[in-house]
Structure 1
Amino acid sequence: MPHSGSSRSGSSSDTGGDRAHLGHPNDGIDPYLPNNGNLGYRVSRYDLDLQYKVASNRLAGTATITATTLNGIGRFSLDFSTSFKIEKITVNGKRPSRYSHHDNKLSITPSHSIAPGAAMEVQVRYSGSPKPIRGPWGEVGWEELTDGAICASQPNGAASWFPCDDHPSSKAPYHISISTESQYYAASNGVLVNKRAKAGYTTWEYEQTEPMSTYLATMQIGPYERKTLSEGDVPIYAVLPARLKKNFESSFGRQVQIMDTFREMFGPYPFPQYTVVVTDDDLEIPVEAESLSVFGANHCTGTRRSERLVAHELAHQWFGNSVTLRQWRDIWLHEGFACYAEWLWSQAAGDDSTEALAKKYYDKLASSPQDIQVTDPGPDDMFDDRIYKRGALTLHALRNRIGDDKFFELMKKWTSDHRYENVSTDDFTALAGRYANGSLNDIWQSWLVDTRLPAFPYS
């Protein structure tokens, strides 16, 4: 099962030999992304001050990263795309004695070693033309749209637009400021705290107070307008092109009801507000981000054909954004839960029952290759749809075993006990065991560990 977060406190000094690379698989941060994540410190805040020119795809920024050292640091690293030119670096106000920038790693040697437990403020000024990061899952991160930009960073694309400790176990609050041409709307995580215009440019400032993993940080820029969907306990907004407003009324017409349903099932919504962004371009799949979700124009057609995705992305605010995996091998804790939320919403909305959808996708799994382990699918298969559906069926089997009352008590306890934390499969199975009269090991073994599909878990 996954290592605990303490594995990130390994040595990062220059005396570490090959380990000074700070991303070697033996460091134990995450074998699924062996070159991501960094040792020796823990980030406590990101302040990003960005300027972006849409037409030329030019991004200039200053990233201020506040951290606490876990060990004595003689050298440390950040994940950062080599598409950018480094203009200036300071560590606690002083220029480092040296730095190197290769293979999307920015390695910095401070002018003096930093003691264990000390505060560290790293400031990086940079500029360049952002582009996605290529990997086994295609291109992720910052990408140009026809008229604007989108940032979709799962799992390792955050470094395509700011220097960071790019691993989901590294959570921190953010302040994000973006200046761009005034004809564009800029949406980001959290709450808009300030907006000002000057000389044809508008600066948008967002505060994301709740801790956020780097892959969930986002920037969405386009010719958009904002629409208020709800001013209730949880304000809900839509940011979209004017041409799609009519279609939006149908495609996203039940967004508020989905929020109300999930709050009843999963507990309080974990963030101050929720925003749905619809781009002017088509997108292959929606984009998950903390406190907002991003859909393409093809998901806003005036029909409810994509409503299951609307429910799926909202569910991620609980399962993935607030309660976040510690290592990528446990991605079923995000996708299986969000997929099951789709089925729960379908029944709540008076459409197909949860049981009918579970059986439908069980039959599809039965005719698919049965060669994947849900709790350790391997990096190449971690986004395989079988993880989503089999993860959801695991929850259906659990619900049928312990009953509805205990199942939804468990969901609320899970989201409450681990709000804003990183978790593993072991954390979930241990908690679930408290809601069962007997052992649940047969469910975990047959659904999460064994590759062969077990019998359908009828009610």
Structure 2
Amino acid sequence: MVKPGKFYEEPIDSYLPHVGNHGYRVSRYELDLTYKVHGNRLSGKASVTAVTTEIRAKFAFDLSQSLSVSKVSVNGARPAKYTHQQGKLTITPAHAIPAGGALSVTVQYAGTPKPIRSLWGEVGWEELTEGALVASQPNGAASWFPCDDHPGSKASYRISITTDSPYYALANGALVRKQVRASHTTWVYEQTEPMASYLATIQIGPYERRHVDNGAVPMHAVLPQRLRTAFEHDFGRQPQMMETFVRLFGPYPFEDYTVVVTDDELEIPIEAQGISVFGANHCDGRRSAERLVAHELAHQWFGNSLTLGSWRDIWLHEGFACYAEWLWSENSGGPSAQEIATQAHRNLTGLPYDVLLGDPGPELMFDDRVYKRGALTLHALRTTLGDEAFFDLLRQWTAKHRHGTVTTEEFTDLAAHYTDRSLRPLWDAWLFQKAMP
């Protein structure tokens, strides 16, 4: 129910009704941040460049209440009026901006960043024993900068982070400048390819950077020195993994790939654009997490380059990344995708049939059954099309929507071009019915 006199707007995404904003499209974020490791103190200036899509009296950005705003300006004018309540920074420009007009907003803020509590646990900025990490899926970006925190809102980024000199600081994109000033070091990264806000990240810790591979795609590792030997074994097949996925999925979509291993243990690995983050527990010298290494690498294609426009389509990320695990097994001397699919199907038939893959609902969108059923859907499609057509489809899918936003309907429409028979029964059975086919 809407309170009298309160303006109501349709949510951008029903799964996260309070996240994302109307009235503009962001093209670029420039973040100048200073972080004190001891004390977990963040101060920043965010410059957001956007184009308005309609005439509005006010514009809103997502920003956690853990951060206090001290100054806002719009289009270079004197300080603008703003309110900051319930995770929304609402700005009132001094003058109306026409539709299609430039919207340049600068926000100065500071505070003790904290993860945002969500249905899926705490997401966003997380303090480590010595340093910090950012893991924002699906709505944690607002824990560290003002943004339009929706996956369909993709922009370029420049991220500058100044922190204590003993620590290594990593963000998305290419390191374009590093400046050491006695006790502080400034690291400046440029991410030119469009990126969703939840994929933006900062990783700070007592790390060293290592070159991993000189192949077609440069690969690096950022990790504590103590884990170096275990890493070389556990992640040693990444170059072959990259070659396999490039062959199956098409060209790697970014300039390079970096794996971070934190000094702390992490419950699950995390993907960011051009970066994957693992915990020390995933680096045990026994390759016990290699399945996850493949999964996170595959997300660079499925999730980071091709990003869902609506969270209901989460299977386009997780089903594809899960199937990539099976493909890596098949291509590296392990069980075939058919063998793994048979076991996965057997396992799922013993679980409740209460997940609709094509629209799982916010509570279940990160349920393991979405991952496995999504992978099984792709295996069923592969069985139907045959290998040649199936992998041609995947390569066309990643090429056509490179650095873009995707929907389930776009994938099913594209798949229809690879067979003379109707795929509707397959999609109905796997995506839009709860029972296991």
TM-score by length of 1: 0.93
In the aligned structure 2, how far is the partner of 1:256 from the partner of 1:135? Answer: 36
Select which of 52, 55, 66 maps to 1:83. Answer: 66
The aligned runs of 1:55-454 (5 Å cut-off) are 55-454=38-437
Contact 2:71 / 2:79 at 8 angstroms: preserved in 1? Answer: no
For 1:96 and 1:375, the matched residues in 2 are separated by 45
- 1:28, distance to aligned residue in structure 2 (A): 4.0
The 8 Å contact of residues 96 and 109 in structure 1, kept in 2 or not, is answered as: no
1:296-349 CA deviation, whole Å, 9 max, x = no partner? 000000011100000000000000000010100000000000000000000100
**How far, CA to CA, are the matches of 2:292 and 2:329 in structure 1?**
11
Q: Given residue 6 of structure 2, which amino acid in structure 1 is its aligned partner?
A: D
- The letter of the residue matching 1:378 is G
> 1:338-388, CA deviations, whole angstroms, 9 ceiling, x for partnerless residues?
000000000100011111111111111010001110011110000000000
Q: CA deviation at 1:96?
A: 4.9
Answering whether residue 6 of structure 2 is matched by residue 18 of structure 1, we say: yes
In 2: Cα distance, 1:63 partner to 1:360 partner: 49
Letter in 1 for 2:244: T
Confirm or deny: 8 A CA contact 1:95 1:110 kept in the other structure: no
Distance (whole Å) between structure 1 residues aligned to residue 166 and residue 80 of structure 2: 43
Separation (CA, whole Å) in 1 of partners of 2:382 and 2:397: 14
Amino acid at match of 2:55: G
CA distance in 1, matches of 2:28, 2:38: 31
Q: CA RMSD in A?
A: 1.0
Identity percentage of aligned residues: 60
Q: Distance in 2 between matches of 1:40 and 1:366?
A: 45
* Structure 2 runs not aligned, ≥5 long: none
CA shift at 1:250, angstroms? 1.1
**What's the CA shift string for 1:18-39, capped at 9, x where partnerless?**
336xxx5xx1410000000000
Counterpart amino acid of 2:320?
F
Q: 1:95, 1:315 → 2: CA distance?
A: 46
Distance 1:315 1:243 in 2: 27
1:28-58, CA deviations, whole angstroms, 9 ceiling, x for partnerless residues? 4100000000000000100000000000100
Give the secondary structure class of the aligned counterpart of 1:19: coil
CA deviations 1:51-72 (Å, max 9, x no partner) are 0000010000000000000111
AA matched with 1:441: R
Find the aligned partners of 1:324 and 1:70 in 2 and give their Cα distance: 22
CA distance in 2, matches of 1:199, 1:304: 40
Q: How many residues align?
A: 434
SS in 1 for 2:418: coil
What CA deviation, in whole Å up to 9, does each residue of 1:115-152 have, x standing for no partner? 11111110000110000001111110001000000100
SS at match of 1:434: helix
SS of the equivalent of 2:159 reads: strand
Distance in 1, matches of 2:381 and 2:116, equals 38
1:218-264 CA-to-partner distances (Å, cap 9, x unmatched) read 00000000010112221000000000001001110101110110000
Normalising by structure 2, we get a TM-score of: 0.98
Query: d(CA) in 2 for partners of 1:19 and 1:190?
Result: 39
Distance in 1 (CA, whole Å) between partners of 2:436 and 2:93 is 53
Task: Please give the secondary structure, in 2, of the residue aligned with 1:94.
Answer: coil
| Unmatched segments (≥5 aa) in structure 1 | 1-15, 455-459
